[in-house]
Chains A and B, each alone.
Chain A
């Protein structure tokens, strides 16, 4: 194990201005920052509140009693996803914030955010997303299916705001994102999905 330059530790410990680190040192620490960002993500699952309150309402258990046995029994949660269309279901996410430092993507301005578009389109030859963020111009935001598993994705930087959009499959078929929380009539007999892009920096 090679000791790190002490300036890195000082910066990470808040004893030195991180932005003043030389570029090579800042670069060296980026894998760590990415790892921390992953580890800092919310751990999904049901709230423990009901479980804890049920326990404290019950009489104090005898040591090793049945309550402990119940408490340590794992509980599972299942999410049901409703199918949409015969060949496609899709989801979109307006991603909302950004790590304060260390991102290795594009520089993102104060009035910009990140939108992720994800859809499952098995067998599609091409998928793109069109909407009020790109003048409904097909092809400017192409989704990719890098590992050929039928899940197409694009992650883009957009100005903050609310936008309507649809997916375009194989250059001709408009597919709404029915799993999006926000839908609005498009006045052409269909529904657009709505994405709200929040500032990446806060």
Chain B
């Protein structure tokens, strides 16, 4: 953050007379803080827990049939964990591929589906698992989502589904295959 502020100061100091430098600085500014950046293709996933989160998650580390595991993406090159924003939390559930809706199955890897772990209602990020129905319920205001089918809203005040996160398996570990399908988190209303 302070580095970005310094850059801004540099920009202000250089004024409008150095277009090439400005271009370079602008490009630098456009690169978001890697810890706050949303999941990127190629990112690995690690458990979102305080203390030692362990190593990159493999399909076997996500319990078959649930409950969900909450994870953060990790830059595969630098090892930087993208825990700079609550919106980067990813909910992983291990289900039978045959139980998944087609669209969901296409984004899954080894039966593991991934979604934004932040409720689209008002931003809560903890979940109650219904093992029988294979649904997740937000304990804050009781919105329920169907993780078998694109996390569509089954009940409660959430206005929209949880954005999905496409996955792959590479080198034996779970890898992000694309960005969130949709904007994670709540959307501020207002006239």
Q: Do A and B bind each other?
A: no
Q: Which residues of B contact A (CB under 8 A)?
A: none
